[in-house]
Amino acid sequence: MYGSPIPGPRVDPVGWTISRFTVEGRLFNQRDVSVECQFAYSNPRQYTRGTSIPIFLSVVIDTDEQAAQFLSAPQNWTFVLLRCTRLINTPDQLARPGSTNPTSTFVEVVSQGRTWKNTGLHDSEAWPIRGEIDIPNASYPTFRLPNLTVDYAVRMIPATTGFKPRPQPHQVDVVVVTSHAQLSMNPEFISETPAPAYQDSVRMRPRNSPK
């Protein structure tokens, strides 16, 4: 389904958490640049599997105008949802031959997002990039047990042939839950991805079909 744009950070500042970060790299293989960016993701930062995480991105123009304008294009960014699984060995397990590491960590990409140019009447200038990252229906929820934890994070990566970023991707932690809160009346999720007629400029990835 396709929905109307939701109020962004400028219109509804209480509804969003803003994370600021710096992107450094080499532009057009000619010079090193440093650009200040802002990433906004909706509160309360807990998302139900089978839905999507709405996001906004902006670039501070006065840091480096050429680099900022280049990175303000939606197609020059990739957003991914990461799952981090940690296995914590017990003292008995560590006593076994060959067991020396108390913690084993596995990081995998769960989903890759879609980005497009923001056309909202009140947010397009301040937040030029919109996006969504799907949370697959079969995702494990975030949880913590004595010997096992599962956590999620959204990572932002400048992904374009004209810019070579330094290996320091920015990411923010999010929580994946199994169902909507009881008071929400189990609302139907509506994607905000632009309608097909406007998808030529959208970085698309296959959506997860509800089971």
Specify the pLDDT at position 6: 79
Per-residue pLDDT tens, the chain, 211 aa: give them: 455 667 889 889 999 999 999 999 999 889 999 999 999 999 989 999 999 999 999 998 777 888 888 899 999 999 999 999 998 876 665 455 655 557 789 999 999 999 999 887 667 778 889 999 999 999 999 999 888 999 999 999 988 788 888 877 899 999 999 875 554 444 455 566 665 544 444 444 444 444 4
Give the residues across from 143 on adjacent strands: 150
Closest CA to 38 of 24, 15, 55, 26: 55
Specify the pLDDT at position 57: 94
Specify the pLDDT at position 185: 43
CATH fold of 13-179: Immunoglobulin-like (2.60.40)
- CA–CA separation, 104 and 153 (whole Å): 18
- CA–CA separation, 134 and 204 (whole Å): 11
